[in-house]
Structures are given as structure tokens and as C-alpha cells.
Structure 1
Amino acid sequence: MQSCLLPYQAISPTVKRTISPMSPKPRLVVVPSDPISAYEKAGYDWLQRYYNPSGYFGEVIALSPREKKNRQAHGMSIRRVSERYFRSALREIAPDVVRAYGGYWPADLVARNRLPNVPVVVSVHDRLAHRIHRSVTLADAVLCMSQAVSQAVRLKGVGPEKAVILPNRVDLNRFQPLRHTPECHRIRKIHPGKLILHVGRKHEEKNLDTLICSLSHLPKEYRCVFIGNGDVQSYQALARSEGVADRCYWLDHIQNRDLPYWYSACDCFCVPSRWEGFGIVFIEAAACGAPIVTSRIPPMTEYLRHGESAFLVEEYEDPRCLAESIHRTVDDAAFAARIRTGAQAAALPFELSEVDAMEVQIYQQVMHRHLGSPPSTWMQQRWNAEQFAYHAIRSGAKHVLGLFKSEQKNAA
């Protein structure tokens, strides 16, 4: 794994930020990509340690125009603030560092409103070009979930001295093999036969359609449980058309603490993603010793090895090929045992406390290095023009779509 340390740079004493060992703990402002309530609804119960690794910060404030109300939760203050007053709120809070989670609107917001001598850190979780905006180039550090993401942000103009690999993390005390527990036995009783598990949003990225179609090429005792938020109707319709609806089971979400039982209970964990930024579910499944079948694409190829810790499928859009990969993984006991063991080893570098320590070290370095400046007037004007054009196009598209639907309704 690439070092998480930022390259040393000689800096002027006039801009060096020093924190005495006797000083109060630093203050952090975070801008999550979604409201905190969305993560609560998804069953995430580790938000406090996620936003405050190792308890390093004395105060964490989640500041976002997407929050509905002000409240205290998960060891932090959650505050709603409009984009117009975001900079004023930052001045009031006087943070030691600001963190944007996402290289798109959160990065735009913090870069556009950054304060002098307050460092900005942006984490990028996705390697899709349209989700990495130019604003990431103005961050003091860009935390990339994987090498694949790092390559994507460099294509946007982020220098190699700013792009830092910080992977996602897994609590190995929670995510571990639990196959012989009563909870796993209950899952297997409800879902007898060969159990395939898919965990992820119901979205094109996660390639549920190919997995659903692959069931028609597998024996009838093969069943699949799909866990994740999203619109399920189109996938249920596909399952009916393929004649496998009675072998597909749909769960919106489960509590994070229950996931290890599902990973441990399944005969095969299969998410044949079309693209990924990191894929934390693969590391969670690996830590639980689940036999993994997934796509041979970055970043999975960065930490999983075909035949050693997973079955990596080349033709992951081909239902028949995917079915053959699942069948081999489930029915070949020796192969399954080998990749179970290899998967657990693959998860070790992502242990929670180790990645937390990396993240704290990055924060410490950023707060002691040369700090960036607010964007220039020219850059501000350019962003404003781009934002205006974006919203104009989006509003126009919505208006046209509304007219089209209205005409269709009238015609019917």
C-alpha cells in the first residue's frame, strides 16, 4: 500500500501552523456528501469514529446545506447552513481544518469558501470523471480511496504531492468469520440451498442485472439475497422475465452490526461491479472469510488476487460466464477454502486502528504545512458561470421532461 504521508516541503515560518502539545485539541469541520440522516437510515453505527479518527479532534462540526436541522449526534454538532452563509459559519467556528467528503459539490463548496490559513482536505471516493471537479486542485491534500481514484484525480490536475492514498477501513473485531453462530444458522434456515449475497445500492454500477440473469444458468438451489437501498421494481421485473423471481430476495438495508452474519452465512459474495472507487463491502466480506466473486477491474485488482483471495471475472457482463464463476466458487470446496483464507489475509492492511492512525497523521501534516489560499476572483467568476450554466441546463431538462410526460399522459 502506498504511503499515506505527504511529501515534505520547506515552508516559511510565517505560514507554518504550529500546535503546541499543551494546546486544546484541534477543531474539524466536515462536509459529508449526504445528510447524516442518510447514513443513519442505512444502518451505519460507526459515524463518530469515522469523522473523528482515534478521537483526535476535540470538536467535530458537520456543516452542510443538505442537513434539515441543527442537532447533536455521533459525538459531533450537526448544523444546517445555506451555501450563501457557509463562509460566515466557517469564520464563526474558526476550525483548524476543513474536510470535504466527495470531489464534486462538497469540494466546490469548501474550495469556494475557504478561509486564509485554514487547510482544506478533500476525499475522493469515486473515479468517475464527472464526480471529480476542478475544485479538488485547490485542496491542500486529496485523499484517494485507491490507486484507481488517485489516477483519476491526477487527470484533473491534482499534483502527485497532494494525492494521498487513504483506503477505507474495516473493524476486524466486528467483521470476522461467524459461520457457526446462531445468527448464521437462522439466516441459512430462512434461505436454504446455495446462498449468493449481493450488498450494494440498487444502481447500474453494481451490476445487479447480470447477476439476476446468471441465476437462470445456475441450478435451482442457488438463491440470491440483495441488500441495499434503491429502486427495486426494474430488477424485480427482470427477475420475473428471467423466471428467477422466486430465487431473489430483497432487503432495503440492515444494521451494520448484522452484516458480518450475512457475509459469514453466504456460500458466495458476488457484486460484479461495472466500476468502483474502493468497494468497502469487498473488504468486509473478505474479513469474514466469504468466498468472493467480483469483476476483474481496478480497484479490486489492487487488493484481491484471482484464485488466491477471490474469483475475478473477466466477462462480468456475461450472465453465463458469471454463473460459471459462481458455480466453481460454491461447488469446488478446495477452491472455496483457499480463497476464504486468502480473503482474510487481504483484509488485514485495512484494519480500523491502522487506517485511523494514517488519517490522523495526514491531518497533522496538513495543519503544519504550507496552506493554500482562497480561489482567485477569476476562478470564482468561472465557477459561478459554470454553476449557472449547469443549473440552467438541469432546469431546462426537467422542464422538457415534464412536458414530455404531460403529453404522454394526455395521449393515453
Structure 2
Amino acid sequence: MSEALHGALRIALLTHSVNPRGGVVHTLELAQALHQAGHRVTVMAPATAGQAFFRPLPCPVELIPVGPASRDMTEMVGARIQAIERHVLGWLEAGHAFDVLHAQDAIGANALANLRDRGLISGFVRTVHHLDHFDDPRLMAWQTRGFLAASQVLCVSRLWQSVLRQEHGLEAALVHNGVDTLRYSRVPEPCDQQVRQRHGLVAGQAHGAPLFLMVGGVEERKNTLRVLEAFIQIRHDLPGAQLAIVGGASLLNHDDYVQQFSATLQASGLPIGPGQAVVITGAVPDRDMPALFRAADALLMPSVREGFGLVVLEALASGTPVVVSRIAPFTEYLDDTDCTWADPMSVASIARAMHEVLKHKASADTLAREPPDVCRRFSWPASAQRHAALYRAFHSLRELPHARHALSPSLA
């Protein structure tokens, strides 16, 4: 029986970009936790000239050279699939060996599927965070192939397990996200005020100017337009309120939705920019995120579709209450004591939840500074342990002659 079934695993984690998106954050946190558990982890990601990951890692990182992102998404995805395929092949030809090749998205998965089809690797693992709809049939085909070609499929929520089972007849294993409660904490840090000032954030609810925070940029999936419409209503009652939208470094093209959002914002007459009613920061330094959560009176995440919603745990660990959609996956791990619910399709419901969450914030400020129970239930070391067990099950099955790569009920 292989040493990999008992000792340290050699793991390659592939992610689609170096930008701070949920799946990329998951990759880096998982890599660090696996590394700390004694495994030999290498993280691989495509990057343009001068790009690097938004936070340092304790394990080796391989940045795969690619050209600037094309406005033609199909062309860009195809180019990145080829670049990752060439890069991994180069590693294999140089004599590097991995017990596990694990793609966190369809781009890396298709590169590994190409290598598998050429007989150069025996299989690979794929995590499905969520699935998108694309008008381009080639993008849809790549998305589907990315999990159907995998030898072992993982999901971060029961919602997407169910989708894969019902729509594709595929059984996926559940793995959880986590939260670093040392990094994300209610305890203020000396830099907090500087971060506030640098991004033009207002004083906060205690000074009659509540700050609502969104993370992920302006995207239809994030429901940013309805949040803006709800905020416009809120400003009638709370004229000092501020909406800060941070992040948004996505590879996907959201131009049409951004135009709708911009037209609505302009028609509202709300001032835009640092210190104004609406602040749109774009990508921010990763080191600023804990302070941004602590600065906010509430995190708004009434998304219409999510894989898990990692920033919800980060906000809660920072002592910031959250508004989330009363839909899966949020309903899988949150209850009435953890959040304020909203109907993501109703602007009025989102506005009511925004009013309600401010009341919750006022009472929560009097509570102990320990992270809530929901944050203690999810940790990256536990996620790494779960991944390692699934990797070993996958590795064991690969060593059995003619074995099918299915998981036992106890692991699935």
C-alpha cells in the first residue's frame, strides 16, 4: 500500500486566478492548513506579468504566465486552460510527482482532464463551489466537463451536492469552508482608523451614520443592484448612511449589469466617492479586510446564488452582523440567532432587513468578544483534515485494479 495512504501527501492545488475571490481564498486557506498539517502543498495559478497572490503563503507557489485577460471570455478561458496544461505537464516531465492534483474550478479541471485524456495522469480531484450559466455553449461545455471528467468531486455545500446529484447523477463529497478567528476578530487594532480613512468610510452607527458593507463588487449574482435600491430607501430614514462596495476582481464579464447599476446610482442623485453616500473601492489590500469588517455596522449578502458565502463567517467573527438571503446555502449553516434574513428578490425585504440588522448590532455590541458558535464550528484545520481523508480514499481507490472512483457512504 502506498506511503501516501499514511504519510504526508504531495498535493497540487490549482486555482483560476490570483485575485481575492471566494474560491481563491478557499484555495489559499486550505493550502496553508494542509501545509501546517505536514503535507507538501504546491499552489498553482495563472498570472499576468507582475501579478502575485494577494497574501503570502508558507508553501511553494507556481504562477503560470498568461497574457492580459481578453474581453472575449471564451478566448481567455481557453488560453488559461492551455497554459495550465502546459505548466503541469512541464512539472511532470521534470520528474515532480503529486499524490493529488486538485482543481478548484473548471479552468484547472479542464487542463487536468486534457492531461488525463492523454494518459499523462491517472485522475484528479475537483471542488465545485457553485455553477454559473453562460450563453456561450463552449463555456457551458467546459464547466460541465470540469466536474464530469474528475475522478473525485467535492462540494462546499449540500445545495451544490444536490444540484450535481439531481441534474448530473453525480455523487460529491461535502467539505466545509472555515474561518480564521485569530485574523478575524472583534478586537480593534491600531490600523483600524487608518483603514477607515484611507477608504473614505464614515464614523458608524454610534454617530448616526451607519455603514453597510458589501464584498464582491457589482455583480448580478451578488444582487448589488437590489441592494442599492434598498439603500436608496434607507437613506430617506437615515440620511447619513453609507454603502461601501469592496472587491470585485472577477474574470467574468459583468459590464451589462454594471451599466444598470451605474444608471440607477446616477438617477438616485446620491453622491459617490470617499466620504460620500456610496463608496466603490474595487479590489483592496487583503490586510485591510479585518478592519473593514470591524468598521461596518452590517455586512450585506442577499445574494441570489452562492457556493457558501465565506465572507459571512469572516464578518461574524469580526463582530459584524449580517444580512443574508433566506436560501441555501446560507440556510444550511445559519439560523435566526446568526443573521438577519431577507428575500433576495424583494427590495423592500432587503431594506427591512437593513433596518432590523442595525437593532441587532446595537444589542450585539454589549455581548462578549468571543466569536459566535457558528464560527467555532468551521475551521480550516478541520477542513484540511477532511480533505486529507478524502484524498487518501481517492488514492486508495486508484490503487485497486478496475476500481471505480466512488466514495463510501461514510466519506460522501
Structure-2-length-normalised TM-score: 0.72
CA 132–302 in structure 1, closer or farther in 2 if over 3 Å, else same: farther
Give the Cα separation in 2 of the matches to 1:70 and 1:213: 35
CA 20–166 in structure 1, closer or farther in 2 if over 3 Å, else same: closer
- 5+ residue gaps, structure 2, are 66-81, 134-139, 204-208, 250-254, 403-412
Q: How many Å apart are 1:262 and its aligned residue?
A: 1.6
Q: Match for residue 390 of structure 1?
A: none
Q: How many Å apart are 1:201 and its aligned residue?
A: 2.9
Task: Classify the secondary structure of the residue corresponding to 1:128.
Answer: coil
Q: Match for residue 264 of structure 1?
A: 294
Give the Cα separation in 1 of the matches to 2:375 and 2:352: 26
Q: Match for residue 400 of structure 1?
A: none
Q: How many Å apart are 1:98 and its aligned residue?
A: 0.9
* Counterpart selection for 1:276 from 306, 329, 348: 306
Alignment of 1:94-173 (within 5 A): 94-102=97-105, 104-114=106-116, 115=119, 118-128=122-132, 130=140, 132-157=143-168, 159-160=170-171, 163-173=172-182
Q: Match for residue 32 of structure 1?
A: 15
Cα RMSD (Å) of the superposition?
3.7
Corresponding letter in the other structure for 2:110:
D
Give the Cα separation in 2 of the matches to 1:152 and 1:341: 38
Segment of structure 1 superposing worse, 317-326 or 167-176: 317-326
CA 159–332 in structure 1, closer or farther in 2 if over 3 Å, else same: closer
Q: Are residues 1:229 and 2:248 paired?
A: yes
Corresponding letter in the other structure for 2:356:
R
CA 341–373 in structure 1, closer or farther in 2 if over 3 Å, else same: farther
CA 297–71 in structure 1, closer or farther in 2 if over 3 Å, else same: closer
Task: Classify the secondary structure of the residue corresponding to 1:197.
Answer: strand
Structure 1 consecutive aligned stretches of length 4 or more whose deviation exceeds 6 Å: 44-47, 69-73, 338-343
Whether the aligned pair in 1 keeps the contact of 2:10 and 2:100 (CA below 8 Å) is: yes
* Counterpart selection for 2:184 from 175, 189, 201: 175
Corresponding letter in the other structure for 2:156:
M
Task: Classify the secondary structure of the residue corresponding to 1:99.
Answer: strand
Q: How many Å apart are 1:253 and its aligned residue?
A: 2.1
Q: How many Å apart are 1:333 and its aligned residue?
A: 5.8
Give the Cα separation in 2 of the matches to 1:201 and 1:173: 26
CA 336–327 in structure 1, closer or farther in 2 if over 3 Å, else same: farther
Q: How many residues align?
A: 346
Q: Are residues 1:243 and 2:284 paired?
A: no
Q: Are residues 1:217 and 2:233 paired?
A: yes
Whether the aligned pair in 2 keeps the contact of 1:267 and 1:330 (CA below 8 Å) is: yes
Q: Are residues 1:60 and 2:42 paired?
A: yes
Alignment of 1:343-358 (within 5 A): 344-358=372-386
CA 173–205 in structure 1, closer or farther in 2 if over 3 Å, else same: same
CA 372–282 in structure 1, closer or farther in 2 if over 3 Å, else same: farther
Q: Are residues 1:50 and 2:30 paired?
A: yes
Q: Are residues 1:309 and 2:338 paired?
A: yes
Q: Match for residue 357 of structure 2?
A: 329
Q: Match for residue 410 of structure 2?
A: none
Give the Cα separation in 2 of the matches to 1:100 and 1:235: 33
Task: Classify the secondary structure of the residue corresponding to 2:354.
Answer: helix
Give the Cα separation in 2 of the matches to 1:343 and 1:158: 38
- Higher Rg of the two aligned structures: 1
CA 19–216 in structure 1, closer or farther in 2 if over 3 Å, else same: closer
Task: Classify the secondary structure of the residue corresponding to 1:98.
Answer: strand
Whether the aligned pair in 2 keeps the contact of 1:52 and 1:60 (CA below 8 Å) is: no
Deviation digits for residues 258-302 of structure 1 (CA, Å, limit 9, x no counterpart): 212221221111121111111111111111121111211110111
Q: Are residues 1:200 and 2:216 paired?
A: yes
Corresponding letter in the other structure for 2:186:
P
Deviation digits for residues 103-160 of structure 1 (CA, Å, limit 9, x no counterpart): x232222123125774411011114364841442332321101111111222353543
Alignment of 1:318-397 (within 5 A): 318-331=346-359, 336=364, 344-370=372-398
Structure-1-length-normalised TM-score: 0.72
Task: Classify the secondary structure of the residue corresponding to 1:62.
Answer: strand
Whether the aligned pair in 2 keeps the contact of 1:166 and 1:355 (CA below 8 Å) is: yes
Corresponding letter in the other structure for 1:122:
R
CA 195–257 in structure 1, closer or farther in 2 if over 3 Å, else same: same
Q: How many Å apart are 1:355 and its aligned residue?
A: 1.6
Q: How many Å apart are 1:335 and its aligned residue?
A: 5.9
Give the Cα separation in 2 of the matches to 1:91 and 1:185: 49
CA 117–18 in structure 1, closer or farther in 2 if over 3 Å, else same: farther
Deviation digits for residues 190-211 of structure 1 (CA, Å, limit 9, x no counterpart): 4131111111132111111111
